[in-house]
Amino acid sequence: MVLPGNCSTSAALCMQFLTQLAAVAIDQAYPAVPNDYHLPNKKLFVSYRSVPPPAPSPSSAAVPIRFNSYSSVGSNIRGLNSQTLHPGSMEPPLTPGNYRLYSMRFCPYAQRVLIYLAKKNIPVEVVNVNPDRSPNWYLAKSPIGRVPALEINGKVVWESNVIVEYLDELFPTTTVLPRDAFEKAHQKILVERLSPIMNALFEFYSSMSNQQAQRQNDMNVHSALRNAENLLRDSFYGGRQPGYADYLIWPFLERLQLLTMTQNSQFRYFPGLHYPKIGAYIARMQNQPEIKFSSRPLTHHKAYLDSFSMGMPNYDFGIYGKS
Amino acid sequence: MVLPGNCSTSAALCMQFLTQLAAVAIDQAYPAVPNDYHLPNKKLFVSYRSVPPPAPSPSSAAVPIRFNSYSSVGSNIRGLNSQTLHPGSMEPPLTPGNYRLYSMRFCPYAQRVLIYLAKKNIPVEVVNVNPDRSPNWYLAKSPIGRVPALEINGKVVWESNVIVEYLDELFPTTTVLPRDAFEKAHQKILVERLSPIMNALFEFYSSMSNQQAQRQNDMNVHSALRNAENLLRDSFYGGRQPGYADYLIWPFLERLQLLTMTQNSQFRYFPGLHYPKIGAYIARMQNQPEIKFSSRPLTHHKAYLDSFSMGMPNYDFGIYGKS
């Protein structure tokens, strides 16, 4: 059985799939309250439209191309905080030979790809789309409007794990996955073995407002952390340096820290003193340039999650300076 | 989020994960009834112990090795119907340099790997283990006793999709996945797009005894078949020949034919006249030697499923001649 490694329609956090399987009632019965995060007159972050695409490089017609002309991690990525496109939005023109990532700013699966793109220093333009109600032209690229999706010269690849492996094949000199077949398989297996971290995040999202369910979820988080603590045998799951498993799991660990801001959870610190290796691991990960670049403040995650819980997901939270 | 591509403990068909997510009560409240399928005195199929391991080839110390000395598809695979090992069973000695697949005879994920091994003609010994209550020595190889798992020289790889990609990397001359990065990604995406077939099987297994749930499931199967019909653009999902997506989806299509033997389902024919492309596709697949080799009669699947539903899974059904 396969669950998608992506964010998808109808709930923006793969919730539609959890809902289908588990009858999680995430988007029901929340009172509609005013959403005041959206203040379009205070632009602070760079928005998509404010950065015109660069003139195409003469060599960019060939694919793949590896650029090394950027000095700081993430400077190869434009439009990270571009305004979200909704039904009715025009499709921004894509220069042939350029990579484009369709994303949603708070999607953990899209963050996996962003970390990879930053690490590998691949020039890319990010276009943020509403994964719940996407523009019609986007549905032609990604069935049911899922993000993330990577486009190049009319070819579209989706599923976060498929995209990052595709990037490693296109740009083998900066491969994140090990070249050795067994080590490569081992990294993929590690992601699977760390999947309780991912499951715990989805359970947390679905049980946030229910005290009893959140107690149970706290126990699941403890179990996932114990498991993660046992599996960490070096500085990173990839060894001395962060690897595929680290990058694929990180977005979920980043968001699990929201537990400390949730009344119904007993986590006041994350991961807490019981998990010294994971505590040190999180600090090490947060020091990696590609993680720093891709991460968002916990207050932003919290604001997005609150808006999502109220049935009015604010995909543009933070773009305009309110945080 | 990741769901495992494997069979795992506590329910033998990934049910434990569905249960966890969806509170599917698959193994509850079934009356314990006598299981008369197990007739140990009538051996018909080759059992594990009846085939001594061959003397190690001088060249088999090196890994990987590609053998081409087998004439018919599947003759490279020994022990397909070996007796299931339970807690207390001894670990069969594994000759260095030999491949071993830990399997369960009715596991669709293990079948994926068997198809691949047959297609690629890789000599392998199959050891069947009880995935619900596995021998202790097996737990050291595969966390929580999941099957399938592939062992070679003390290295163990699990997760069916990870195993088959690993096999393609070890034996590139017989690669099933396309060599082109985009085509390869496209095959993986196709598996994801065909996942409603897989979901429909799990829902069928969990709703079999409930008339109303089975009606709903019939609708899900129709939806999955419509989707599969639309996605089939050539003889196979892999093109003119069966490919990665075909091999990974087939075990689920094979088992969905059980709907025709289920009172609560309205499928009297599978897939039925509404899906002419899928109907012809199933016939084409059934003619592939690697599919013929790996498939089991529908009556065997039915007997296993019935035993599983009664909480007494008979992993050895058919070994001893009763069918």
Residue B13: band (very low, low, confident or very high) from pLDDT cuts 50, 70, 90: very low
User: If 0-12 CB within 10 Å is exposed, 13-18 middle and 19+ buried, where does residue A218 land?
Assistant: buried
ipTM of the complex: 0.81
Type of residue found at B138: Y
**Which region among A54-58, A132-136, A234-238, B147-151 has the lowest average model confidence (pLDDT)?**
A54-58
Q: B234 in contact with A at a CB cutoff of 8 Å? A: no
Which residues of chain B neighbour A18 with C-beta distances below 8 Å? 1, 21
Which residues of chain B neighbour A162 with C-beta distances below 8 Å? 185, 188-189, 192
Cβ contacts below 8 Å, chain A against chain B, sum to: 96
Residue B208: band (very low, low, confident or very high) from pLDDT cuts 50, 70, 90: confident
- Exposure class string for B34-64: b at 16+ Cβ within 10 A, else e: eeebeeeeeeeeebbeeeeeeeeeeebeeee
CA atoms within 13 A on the CB side of A198: 31
Q: B186 in contact with A at a CB cutoff of 8 Å? A: yes
Structural domains for chain B: 48-174 (3.40.30.10), 179-296 (1.20.1050.10)
Which secondary structure element, helix H or strand E, spans residue A251, and what is its range?
A: helix A244-256
Q: What is the pLDDT of residue B6?
A: 56
**Per-residue pLDDT tens digits for B250-280:** 999 999 999 999 988 999 999 999 999 999 9
Which residues of chain B neighbour A186 with C-beta distances below 8 Å? 157
Q: Residue A198's closest chain B neighbor by CA?
A: B1
Q: In chain B, pLDDT over 90 holds for what percent of residues?
A: 71
Q: Are strands A77-78 and B77-78 parallel, antiparallel or unpaired?
A: unpaired
**Per-residue pLDDT tens digits for A85-122:** 999 999 999 989 999 999 999 999 999 999 999 999 99
Residue A16: band (very low, low, confident or very high) from pLDDT cuts 50, 70, 90: very low
Q: What is the pLDDT of residue B321?
A: 61
Residue of A2, A26, A162, A231 for testing the chain B interface, max B β-carbons within 10 Å? A2
Q: Residue A158's closest chain B neighbor by CA?
A: B189
**Per-residue pLDDT tens digits for A229-247:** 999 999 999 999 999 999 9
Q: Residue B187's closest chain A neighbor by CA?
A: A162
Q: Is the model more confident about A57 or about B252?
A: B252
Closest Cα in chain A, distance from residue B317 (Å): 24
Q: Share the mean pLDDT of chain A.
A: 82
Q: B13 in contact with A at a CB cutoff of 8 Å? A: no
Q: What is the pLDDT of residue B42?
A: 32
Q: CA A43 to CA A40: how far, in whole Å?
A: 7
Type of residue found at B120: K
**Per-residue pLDDT tens digits for B64-73:** 444 444 458 9
B7 is catalytic: no
Q: A36 in contact with B at a CB cutoff of 8 Å? A: no
Report the pLDDT averaged over residues A42-69. 37
**Which region among A5-19, B175-189, B287-301 has the lowest average model confidence (pLDDT)?**
A5-19
- Strand locations in chain A (E): 77-78, 99-103, 124-128, 149-152, 155-158
Q: Is B128 helix (H, G, I), strand (E, B) or coil?
A: strand
